[in-house]
């Protein structure tokens, strides 16, 4: 079993599920526990400056072993897993030499990972896979990224004859709840540019993400005794449907792909008196993104004319911007990554991220940070899996990037 696979299987044992409901930083204690383990491992590798910040960010630096100066490159991955799916008691299953058929994840609950539902499995016939046991997520998003970065560091340290410039490393908490770089110290990190290693099938590379916002739609009703409710009661849950129906039904995650944006209703919490609809709003185009946000405000105004002033209130919060505008002026960092992928005998798959990474905000904080693949599939759910050879290729790509930078004139 390769080093990167061993690391990954060890890392997924840590429950690092982040939470949107706590006020702690990081949001859950398991992330700090995992961070301390990573610090210990970095120290064991000989990276003596590794430390865990008061905000739960792991920082480390591998000094240059070269006489000439080359750009300082950073590699970043996040420690938390999605709050939407259980991340404790992960029991990864090895599927050696996948035969192309159904994979039974859990016999008791008849949970099956099938190429009929997930055709990407057909790409990995004959390869070794790691899956869940059908009761939790796997955690390849993004413990695979951490394992890949750590394994690349281990290789460089154990091969001091391989030239490399200074390499900055960071592992962040709470990326899944949009807070991964709330307390990231770009200046202390010290890199000229960086790459997140966060999701995507083998060969994928991204320097575009959605523009993203969250909307809380508060619907005010009026509760009275149901026996005397005629003409008086206003059931907020029922009139909330008017707002749901006001949004285009063909602009949801289930009906869009590629560069198409969407409105996504993520939760409904309601009583007769008050209902809260939570939406996320996504679009790659900044102008269309602004129009999407305005559309929600206009829908509320229109419904308030029907149901009365103040019945519908929309609160918008921007989450992260598209990184493309910040990457294009330094496009050579894209070219380096694409060459590194090709040097690993892979075909680069340049695709926009239909989501976000820490790199979205970091790029707008002055650290251009596109994203490299980890090799995982079906993140955030019980059907998550990752081919072991994809993880090994990710390590190779990281090392190729470092070699290309070391060869800079």
- What pLDDT digit, counting tens, does each position of 123-158 carry? 999 999 999 999 999 999 999 999 999 999 999 999
Q: Computed over its alpha carbons, how large is the radius of gyration of the chain?
A: 23
pLDDT at 142: 94
Average pLDDT over residues 395-406: 98
CA distances to 29, 132, 206, 322 from 137, rounded to whole Å, are 19, 6, 24, 27
The answer, yes or no, to whether residue 267 has pLDDT greater than 70, is yes
pLDDT at 408: 86
**Residue whose token pair is 């091969």:** 159
User: What residues are paired with 276 via a beta bridge?
Assistant: 218, 269
C-alpha–C-alpha distance, residues 209 and 284, integer Å: 7
The answer, yes or no, to whether residue 84 has pLDDT greater than 90, is no
Question: Which H or E element spans position 105?
Answer: strand 103-106
The CATH number of the structural domain formed by 3-209+322-406 is 3.40.630.10
Q: Which of 184-198, 296-310, 343-357 has the lowest mean pLDDT?
A: 343-357
Contact 173, 184 (CB under 8 A): no
Q: What percent of the chain has pLDDT over 70?
A: 100
C-alpha–C-alpha distance, residues 161 and 382, integer Å: 42
Stretch(es) of the chain classified as CATH 3.40.630.10: 3-209+322-406
pLDDT at 156: 98
The answer, yes or no, to whether residue 102 has pLDDT greater than 70, is yes
Is 57 exposed, middle or buried (CB count within 10 Å of its CB: 0-12, 13-18, 19+)? buried
Stretch(es) of the chain classified as CATH 3.30.70.360: 211-319
**Residue whose token pair is 């790199």:** 359
In 3D space, the residue among 196, 217, 198, 193 whose CA is nearest the CA of residue 278 turns out to be 217
C-alpha–C-alpha distance, residues 226 and 233, integer Å: 8
Both structure tokens of 393: 């290729």
Structure confidence at residue 1 as a pLDDT band (50, 70, 90): low
157 three-class SS:
helix
Average pLDDT over residues 358-367: 94
387 three-class SS:
strand
Both structure tokens of 400: 């190729």
**Which active-site residues does the annotation give?**
80, 175
Mean confidence (pLDDT) of the chain:
96
The answer, yes or no, to whether residue 15 has pLDDT greater than 80, is yes
Tell how far CA 49 is from the center of its chain: 27
Bond preceding residue 142 cis, omega within 30 of 0: yes
CATH class assigned to 211-319? alpha beta
Average pLDDT over residues 355-375: 93
238 three-class SS:
helix
pLDDT in tens, 207-232: 999 999 999 999 999 999 999 999 99
373 three-class SS:
coil
In 3D space, the residue among 59, 54, 51, 56 whose CA is nearest the CA of residue 29 turns out to be 56
Q: Phi first, then psi: give them for residue 393, nearest 5 degrees.
A: -65, -35
**pTM for this entry:** 0.90
Both structure tokens of 192: 């000229």
pLDDT at 409: 77
């Amino acid at each position: 079993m390769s080093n990167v696979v061993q690391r990954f299987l060890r890392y997924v044992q840590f429950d690092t599920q982040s939470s949107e409901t706590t006020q702690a930083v990081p949001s859950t204690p398991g992330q700090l526990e995992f961070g301390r383990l990573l610090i210990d491992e970095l120290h064991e590798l000989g990276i003596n400056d590794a430390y865990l910040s008061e905000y739960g960010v792991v920082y480390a630096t591998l000094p240059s072993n070269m006489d000439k100066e080359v750009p300082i490159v950073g590699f970043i991955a996040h420690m938390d897993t999605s709050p939407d799916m259980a991340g404790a008691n992960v029991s990864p299953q090895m599927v050696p030499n996948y035969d192309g058929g159904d994979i039974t994840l859990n016999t008791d609950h008849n949970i099956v990972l099938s190429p009929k539902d997930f055709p990407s499995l057909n790409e990995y016939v004959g390869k070794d896979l790691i899956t869940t046991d059908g009761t939790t997520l796997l955690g390849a998003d993004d413990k695979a990224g951490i394992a890949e970065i750590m394994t690349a560091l281990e290789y460089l340290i154990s091969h001091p004859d391989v030239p490399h410039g200074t390499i900055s490393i960071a592992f962040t908490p709470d990326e899944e709840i949009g807070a991964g770089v709330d307390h990231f110290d770009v200046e202390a990190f010290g890199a000229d540019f960086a790459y997140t290693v966060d999701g995507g099938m083998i060969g994928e590379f991204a320097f575009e993400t959605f523009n993203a916002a969250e909307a809380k739609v508060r619907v005010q009703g009026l509760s009275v005794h149901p026996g005397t409710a005629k003409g008086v009661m206003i059931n907020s849950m029922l009139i909330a449907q008017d707002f749901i129906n006001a949004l285009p039904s063909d602009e949801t995650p289930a009906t869009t792909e590629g560069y198409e944006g969407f409105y996504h209703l993520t939760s409904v919490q309601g009583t007769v008196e008050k209902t809260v609809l939570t939406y996320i709003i996504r679009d790659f185009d900044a102008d269309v993104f602004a129009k999407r946000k305005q559309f929600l405000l206009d829908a509320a105004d229109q419904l308030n004319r029907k149901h009365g002033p103040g019945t519908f209130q929309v609160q918008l919060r921007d989450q992260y911007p598209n990184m493309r505008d910040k990457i294009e002026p330094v496009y050579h960092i894209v070219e380096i990554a694409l060459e590194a992928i090709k040097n690993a005998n892979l075909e680069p798959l340049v695709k926009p991220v239909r989501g976000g990474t820490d790199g979205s905000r970091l790029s707008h904080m002055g650290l251009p940070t596109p994203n490299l693949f980890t090799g995982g599939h079906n993140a955030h759910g019980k059907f998550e899996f990752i081919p072991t050879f994809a993880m090994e290729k990710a390590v190779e790509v990281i090392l190729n990037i470092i070699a290309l930078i070391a060869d800079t004139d």
